[in-house]
Structure 1
Amino acid sequence: MSFLPTTRDEMLEQGYEQVDFVYVSGDAYVDHPSFGCAIITRTLQAYGYSCAVLAQPDWHKDEEFLQFGKPRLGFLVSAGNIDSMVNHYSVNKRRRDKDAYSDQGIMGKRPDRPTIVYTQILKRLFPDIPILIGGIEASLRRLAHYDYWDDKVRRSILIDSQADLLMFGMGENTIIEVAEALDGGLNVKDICYIRGTVWKTKSIESIIDDYILLPDYETICHDKYAYARSFMIQYENQDAIQSKILIEPYDGWYVVCNQPPLPLTQEQMDFTYSLPYERTFHPKYTYVPAIEEVQFSITSNRGCFGSCAFCAITSHQGRVISSRSTQSVVEEAKKIIEMPNFKGYIHDLGGPSANFSRPACDKQTTLGACAKRQCLWPKPCPNLKVDHTHYVEMLDAIRELPKVKKVFIRSGIRYDYLMYDKDETFFDRLIQYHISGQLKVAPEHVSAAVLDKMGKPRKELYLKFVDKYYEKNKQWGMKQYLVPYLMSSHPGCELKDAIELACYLKKIHHIPKQVQDFYPTPGTLATCMYYTGLDPRNMKPVYVAKTFEEKLEQRALMQYSYPKNYDIVYRALKKACRDDLIGSGPKCLIPAKRPYQKHKKERTKKRDVR
């Protein structure tokens, strides 16, 4: 098996005068199951449909979009593996220097909002060919949404792009249903019944299924309470079984969001990851940096019932876990072992949350996830089934393969779920075999008020985990460290909360090298809080650090010992009336006087000598 054709010459060489679908991607072409383009095109191929990949076309040149001619069934358009605006801009809205999903990491090979740009070009060049959009950018922007970079509420990307149909979520089943409908001669305008799709219409009189009519676009643009209410309706209708059809009115149009796709069964998951991926980037590239983290990694599950407020996985993959069989992950590991540059290390076995390998409770597989109740927050649901047995089985099976030196877990452990497990087998295995010197976990904060807004467990549980982690290391004769992921400026985080976090960092003698500042991305509960200043769960006001100064202070407090941050931290502590943290006492964050003038003079003197 070879790569799919990426040029007209390659298409002809592979024996095609015309392909069924042309997949237009904002990423370089990487044929690896961690990339949406690879999964969708290989799935189509497995069902007998031919595909070509038009990766990162120059949007200034029509001839690049014309090179494959008219596909028989349609164009598939995706911005790539991550939202293009997140890929292009930092949280401070500064243009990034590197693009990990482009050859040699070169920035600028795709436009901002490529889903819109590519689709509009294709609509102009091929007005009679169906244009279908998907991927994370389309999925999270399927209905009206607050856009951080424009600082306004944007319309559904289906409206802005002028596409014929939008597919959201993990789309293997959806794309095959759509392909079969088109192949059967159905007009794309009549494909309005498939799960995981969004379509537009002038009239909703023909919709007979139960639906919810959301506030119209104009209303949510001007009324933040209406926006928050609309968001919460969407948030509570993300389960494939429990949710209803959502309809959002626009001037002259209705955008209709069908129910999400059903989670894949284990057999379907196994099938998806058994497809003949090349597991690397197309040979026309020198090097695509994004392959580095995933080339020797294995996806074992999808979905997440953690439901952190700042994460969009729930909106994209759902809360019900889909997991692969042990045999399936072992077969993939065997393929990795035979790769010429494999050095004995499986970099990861996991998913959005590595140790979620089964649905949160038994009823989810038939009744779906609860609309108004979370599985882990504020306390674990009484129906929660905590079980690491299948995950341990997969880890053990891969670790025992010849040529495998170690299997790491890098995709993130839910320490709360781990602590709820009365069987300590996985905890023991984790300490013994699956850590590379340090384990990264995500308490995110220590303030109870902030953790409640995040949907994260309280600090006390994390501290118990820390104690147990080091006890386990001592038990097994290991010396491995913990690295906590922490976030600044999350909605609900006031200056006093940021100071509480700084004091905790002082206590544990840890200064993070990089600070994770809250990034308002489409589709998350926290982004709704950021924009509206309301918690949509109860419609109560939420403090939001929005100004440059507020965000700078919260970031600086997490790195309070850095000389460059002294003045900022001093000003923040004075503002908060926390003079007790300025001085020479054991709990003080900074000294009373700036101790760095001497070093500045020395550097100046050296420059003068030179």
Structure 2
Amino acid sequence: MLQRGWYYYDFLVITGDAYVDHPSFGTAIISRVLEAEGYRVAILAQPNWRELSSFTDMGRPRYGVFINGGNIDSMVAHYTAARKRRHDDAYSPGNRAGLRPDRATIVYANKVREAFGDIPIVIGGLEASLRRFAHYDYWEDKVRRSILLDAQADLLTYGMGERATRQLAALLAAGTPAAEITAVKGTCFLTKDPSVCAFPAVTVASYETVTRDKRAYAAANLVEYDEHDPIRGRAVIQPHGDRYLIANPPAMPLDTQELDEVAELPYLREPHPVYDTMGGVPAIEEVRFSVTHNRGCFGACKFCSLAFHQGRMVTSRSHESILREVTALTQHPGFKGYIHDVGGPTANFRRPSCQKQRKHGLCKHRDCLAPTPCPNLDADHTDYLLLLRKLREIPGIKKIFIRSGIRFDYLLQDKNGEFFADLVKHHISGQLKVAPEHCVGHVLDAMGKPHIGTYEKFREKYQRLNQKYGKNQYLVPYLMSSHPGCTLDDAIAMAQWINKTGRQPEQVQDFYPTPGTLSTCMYYTGLDPRTMQPVYIPKSPHEKELQRALLQWKRPEKRRLVMEALHKAGREDLIGYGPQCLLRPSKAAAPAKPAAGKRGQSTAPAHKKGKSPTRPGRGPRRKHR
């Protein structure tokens, strides 16, 4: 401020992350958008929340304070799915944990209220977006009220906040009291008079009701999910005590020209230099030479927060904008010729899933891809294919990888095989990661994923293309344990499927109940909100540990848990020496050598359930990559 000759500034932006001036970080985008509107913006990154002076050092902003907890929910940043404290934080300097508080948005907002009194406070980012309604909180194992109340904030922005932020900034700068700002799409506010709602609205069960009635919680969660549509969505009203939370309909996604403008603001694409002596900010490494070409995802996985934050309507940047960005990256002193990703929430989405969406929005109670693709699905990779081909021609580019998610079921629906061929020939860095997640039908239905036969068709075609083009590239499946609907028997079936494929997964994601998602609703209520039918929930930490171990059954340190799980499920048939077995018996239970007898006879015990005898000694040798 002193170097710029500023004796005042307009807006303070506070974040739970270290400051990285790159368009993959929400704080950078919002701050640059405000700057482009002509405002003076001060950024306060990871303030010491224990000291009030950390919030007052730059003085009081003229118009207001925007607050986010960081690129991810602060509780997810701090705790594993087993509720164990993490020892690192990629969004902090030197990968250090503990530089932000638990529930960062609430803590920062309360400190700002203490420091500046009645100044307008707007909370946003992923943490606020997913917690805008009464929500189940996994870490406290209870339903919490809207974050807007606990933060003592005036307004909340949800989703991708550029439109709402511009409108709010203009209103606040014009002197409009925060209490009178009630008609901005993509925002939430509290009122004692619900009639001030400026849009058609639907009312869901109150915070008090959803706290004591799980069916009411499930019904409310489904409405909140369904109304998150910028075209057909209505405002959602939820009473909290003597006040009403009003969530206005979502803002329209930015169109292509607007996305280009936001992407090409003057980011320095690096962490602030103050972090250089602290070990840097690790989160920049994956995105420094990556490009985001789209927003939104109509994949609609029920455990994913994207549908409830960015939304399901896909929009994308122009070829010209992306070409300019990649060309500029080739001039970066650290660039070695490799673009790590040209992706987004789902890399191979560059258009709405069907033409109907542009006018009517996305369908209620119908997913575009699962359990089977919608007949109206318009699967076409032509535009993405042309973009990648143009990027490959830029001087200085050696290779362009696609590392963000590929939706394999969408790819298979494209009858033109050019993109799949180009993907295999040019855009894989040794292995392609995709997400079948599970192999059991009813578990996949709960997840909103296609059945495993679709993945197996994709795998077969992927292998054929690799053989055709002389490539030796692996396919790495992302798998998830303990999702609602998954029993111990289902986890065992998954282990058997992994055994059959002959490739042990390196990483397994244990289901993590994050606020707002339909899967989290299932976890809390034991009901599928889409059908109101009961769903089995693996809740105990030990059962979750057993299910996770089964998906990594070859690891020696998992043997005890896998053995326990097989005995518990009555699946001792999977303990033995046959190719279908998961574990060899313990040494104490190893079969004795067969007694001498006639040639060709064996005294080895027959396998249970009338199956053929197992071979004594070591099982058949198998190749594992």
User: Which amino acid counterpart does residue 501 of structure 2 have in structure 1?
Assistant: I
1:303 pairs with 296, 307, 312, which one? 296
1:324 pairs with 297, 317, 322, which one? 317
Distance 1:179 1:169 in 2: 17
**In terms of mean alpha carbon deviation, does 203-212 or 531-540 score higher?**
203-212
User: Which amino acid counterpart does residue 563 of structure 1 have in structure 2?
Assistant: P
Percent identity of paired positions between Structure 1 and Structure 2: 53
C-alpha spacing 1:251/1:592, structure 2 compared with 1 (3 Å): same
Q: Give deviations 1:158-179, integer Å, cap 9, x for gaps.
A: 0110001000000111100111
User: Which amino acid counterpart does residue 431 of structure 2 have in structure 1?
Assistant: Q
Q: Give deviations 1:327-378, integer Å, cap 9, x for gaps.
A: 1111110121111001110000010000001111112122211122111112
Q: Which residue is 2:199 aligned to?
A: 209
Q: Which residue is 1:369 aligned to?
A: 362
1:566 pairs with 559, 562, 568, which one? 559
Matched, 1:264 2:254: yes
Q: Give deviations 1:107-136, integer Å, cap 9, x for gaps.
A: 111100110001001111111211111000
Q: Give, in angstroms, the shift of residue 595 of structure 1.
A: 8.1
Aligned to 1:110, the other structure's residue is in SS state: coil
2:380 pairs with 387, 395, 408, which one? 387
Distance 1:548 1:172 in 2: 40
User: Which amino acid counterpart does residue 34 of structure 1 have in structure 2?
Assistant: S
User: Which amino acid counterpart does residue 386 of structure 1 have in structure 2?
Assistant: A
Distance 1:596 1:313 in 2: 50
C-alpha spacing 1:56/1:208, structure 2 compared with 1 (3 Å): closer
Distance 1:179 1:433 in 2: 44
Distance 1:169 1:595 in 2: 58
2:568 pairs with 575, 595, 599, which one? 575
User: Which amino acid counterpart does residue 17 of structure 2 have in structure 1?
Assistant: D
Q: Which residue is 2:12 aligned to?
A: 22
Normalised by the size of structure 1, how large is the TM-score? 0.95
Q: Give, in angstroms, the shift of residue 594 of structure 1.
A: 4.6
1:99-110 mapped onto 2 (5 Å cutoff)? 99-110=89-100
Q: Which residue is 1:351 aligned to?
A: 344
Tell whether the 8 Å contact from 1:566 to 1:594 is kept in structure 2 after alignment.
no
Q: Give deviations 1:535-575, integer Å, cap 9, x for gaps.
A: 00000000011112211111111111222222221221122
1:66 pairs with 56, 61, 71, which one? 56
1:197-596 mapped onto 2 (5 Å cutoff)? 197-207=187-197, 209-286=199-276, 287-594=280-587
Q: Which residue is 2:31 aligned to?
A: 41
Tell whether the 8 Å contact from 2:10 to 2:61 is kept in structure 1 after alignment.
yes
Q: Give deviations 1:443-487, integer Å, cap 9, x for gaps.
A: 000011110101100111111100000001111111111010000
Distance 1:372 1:529 in 2: 16
Distance 1:181 1:170 in 2: 19
User: Which amino acid counterpart does residue 217 of structure 2 have in structure 1?
Assistant: Y
Aligned to 1:477, the other structure's residue is in SS state: coil
C-alpha spacing 1:96/1:388, structure 2 compared with 1 (3 Å): same
Distance 1:81 1:460 in 2: 35
1:87 pairs with 77, 80, 104, which one? 77
Q: Give deviations 1:416-454, integer Å, cap 9, x for gaps.
A: 000000011110110000001110110000011110101
C-alpha spacing 1:53/1:596, structure 2 compared with 1 (3 Å): farther
Aligned to 1:567, the other structure's residue is in SS state: helix
Aligned to 2:196, the other structure's residue is in SS state: coil
Matched, 1:50 2:40: yes
Q: Which residue is 2:597 aligned to?
A: none
User: Which amino acid counterpart does residue 383 of structure 1 have in structure 2?
Assistant: N
C-alpha spacing 1:595/1:21, structure 2 compared with 1 (3 Å): farther
Matched, 1:138 2:128: yes
Aligned to 1:427, the other structure's residue is in SS state: helix
Q: Give, in angstroms, the shift of residue 513 of structure 1.
A: 2.2
Q: Give deviations 1:579-598, integer Å, cap 9, x for gaps.
A: 2111111101111225899x
Aligned to 2:577, the other structure's residue is in SS state: coil
Tell whether the 8 Å contact from 2:183 to 2:198 is kept in structure 1 after alignment.
no
Distance 1:461 1:206 in 2: 49
User: Which amino acid counterpart does residue 560 of structure 1 have in structure 2?
Assistant: W
Structure with higher Rg: it is 2
Aligned to 1:177, the other structure's residue is in SS state: helix
Q: Give, in angstroms, the shift of residue 391 of structure 1.
A: 0.8
Distance 1:16 1:594 in 2: 76
User: Which amino acid counterpart does residue 274 of structure 2 have in structure 1?
Assistant: K
Matched, 1:171 2:161: yes
User: Which amino acid counterpart does residue 169 of structure 1 have in structure 2?
Assistant: G
Distance 2:576 2:365 in 1: 48
Distance 2:301 2:507 in 1: 21
Distance 1:271 1:205 in 2: 37
Tell whether the 8 Å contact from 1:242 to 1:370 is kept in structure 2 after alignment.
no
Distance 1:332 1:229 in 2: 44
Distance 1:89 1:256 in 2: 31
Distance 1:201 1:16 in 2: 37
Distance 1:555 1:319 in 2: 30
C-alpha spacing 1:59/1:580, structure 2 compared with 1 (3 Å): same
Distance 1:313 1:48 in 2: 31
C-alpha spacing 1:273/1:596, structure 2 compared with 1 (3 Å): farther
User: Which amino acid counterpart does residue 495 of structure 1 have in structure 2?
Assistant: L
Aligned to 1:199, the other structure's residue is in SS state: strand
Task: Mark the runs of 5 or more structure 2 residues left unpaired by the alignment.
Answer: 591-625
Tell whether the 8 Å contact from 2:197 to 2:246 is kept in structure 1 after alignment.
no
Distance 1:320 1:251 in 2: 34
Q: Give, in angstroms, the shift of residue 53 of structure 1.
A: 0.4
Q: Which residue is 1:8 aligned to?
A: none
Superposed CA RMSD in Å reads 1.2
Q: Give deviations 1:477-516, integer Å, cap 9, x for gaps.
A: 1111101000000000011110111001111112222221
Aligned to 2:282, the other structure's residue is in SS state: coil
Q: Which residue is 2:611 aligned to?
A: none
Distance 1:216 1:327 in 2: 48
Tell whether the 8 Å contact from 2:167 to 2:184 is kept in structure 1 after alignment.
yes
Tell whether the 8 Å contact from 1:211 to 1:245 is kept in structure 2 after alignment.
yes
User: Which amino acid counterpart does residue 321 of structure 2 have in structure 1?
Assistant: S
Distance 2:506 2:360 in 1: 44
User: Which amino acid counterpart does residue 451 of structure 1 have in structure 2?
Assistant: L
Distance 1:352 1:437 in 2: 21
Q: Give, in angstroms, the shift of residue 104 of structure 1.
A: 0.6
